Amino acid sequence: MSITVKDVAKKAGVATSTVSRVINDHASISEETKKKVRKVMKDLGYVPNVTARNLGKQIASAIGIILPPLDSKERLGNPFYLETIEAVNEEASTYQMSVAVASAPDFETLLENVKRMHLQKQVDGFILTYSDNHDPVIAYLFDNKIPFTLIGQPYQNESEIVFVDNDNQLLGKQATEYLIARGHSNILFATNTTRENLYFERYFGYQKALMMANLTTHTAVKFETPEDYVAFEDILEDTKATALVVIDDLFAMRIMQLAQIYGKKIPDDLSLISFNNSIFSTLVHPYITSLDIDVARLGKMATQKLIEQINQHITDGIKVIVPHQLIQRETVLDLTKLS
């Protein structure tokens, strides 16, 4: 026998109309009641008739996740995007919403995919998983007043775009301070992306920490061409750097391999700290010291903020900051203990 709204209402101790309002995420129902009813629905295995509901409300009951152009092996293999999709999917399911993914090798194709999803009413809104300063997608969403949440910090219209992010400048500052506290005074910042806002913010944080400690800042070491990888050996030799702040864990693994090719042992000759605390941080030894950005919470909060917009609820904040945590492992040598 199939489970009905009446069964859910009886089990939850509420009226059937309350269950219906919870299914439609009505603003008149408290969050406490919503959580209780949704738990009963899950326990009983109740699945609302989404098709019938959508016909009446002219909605798709789906969220679109927009990935950045997958134009490199690093982006294709970056676990951040898979972890974000998983977190969004899990949170969306509590609202009886499904998830669709928009991806492409370049911005032009990506924009066409997003336009098609919107015009064909395949989704009710979008979550962008990146912030790029040359992104036509965010301009399209903003100009057409399409509900969306950004994971990251926007380059424009910060007071009007709902976004969820870490404090990336603080992340860069604390990563650098961690190295300074362990006796490192000649520190480089390495990145394979220069268009995303998180690069600018983390690099600013790196600069701030060094300036506050009256230490020399260096131009970011950018890896965008094959020649950049070759030049890295000379940069290490010229700067005599003892430590690196690297943009994320996946690229940190690449840097570790490159440094070892050039005869640098991690962490004895070159210490390294990174961000994300992804699966890559513990795939090979030495394990990477990393700042955990709590991807699951980023995805969850982004989903909640998008659904508030879809349901035309007043959001309790344009900017939502998700806290981070330092995970100490094996890639930073404490020079203060050697003196």
Question: Which tens digit of pLDDT belongs to each residue from 166-187?
Answer: 999 999 999 999 999 999 999 9
For 103-130, letters b (16+ CB in 10 Å) and e give bbeebeebbebbeebbeeeebbbbbbbb
On whether residue 54 sits in a domain, the answer given is: no
- Check whether residue 174 and residue 279 sit in a common domain: yes
- Check whether residue 158 and residue 185 sit in a common domain: no
In this structure, what token pair is assigned to residue 203?
Answer: 């690099």
Which pLDDT value is given to residue 61? 86
Distance CA 93, CA 26 (A): 16
On whether residue 249 sits in a domain, the answer given is: yes
Distance CA 38, CA 96 (A): 9
Give the CATH number for residue 178.
3.40.50.2300
Which pLDDT value is given to residue 115? 95
DSSP state of 316: S
On the CB side of 249, how many CA atoms lie within 13 Å of its CA?
24
Which percentage of the chain shows pLDDT scores above 70?
95
- Check whether residue 317 and residue 227 sit in a common domain: no
Distance CA 236, CA 250 (A): 20
- Check whether residue 229 and residue 306 sit in a common domain: no
106 is in which domain, residue-wise?
Answer: 62-166+295-323
Which pLDDT value is given to residue 77? 80
Of 207 and 75, more confident: 207
Q: Band of the pLDDT at 120, cuts 50, 70, 90?
A: confident
Residue 134 has pLDDT above 90, yes or no: no
On whether residue 55 sits in a domain, the answer given is: no
Average pLDDT over the chain reads 91
Residue 59 has pLDDT above 70, yes or no: no
- Check whether residue 28 and residue 92 sit in a common domain: no
The pTM assigned to this predicted structure is 0.80
Residue 16 has pLDDT above 90, yes or no: no
- Range 150-167 average pLDDT: 93
Contact 103, 170 (CB under 8 A): no
Give the CATH number for residue 39.
1.10.260.40
- Range 288-315 average pLDDT: 92
- Check whether residue 145 and residue 223 sit in a common domain: no
- Check whether residue 184 and residue 279 sit in a common domain: yes
Three-state DSSP state, 98:
strand
Residue 4 has pLDDT above 90, yes or no: no
- Check whether residue 191 and residue 132 sit in a common domain: no
Which pLDDT value is given to residue 215? 98
- Range 271-291 average pLDDT: 95
Which pLDDT value is given to residue 52? 45
Contact 230, 198 (CB under 8 A): no
Closest by alpha carbon to 189, among 237, 263, 243, 152?
Answer: 243
- Check whether residue 204 and residue 301 sit in a common domain: no
On whether residue 195 sits in a domain, the answer given is: yes
Distance CA 51, CA 58 (A): 10
Residue 293 has pLDDT above 90, yes or no: yes
Q: Report H helices in 120-276.
A: 136-143, 168-181, 197-212, 226-239, 249-261
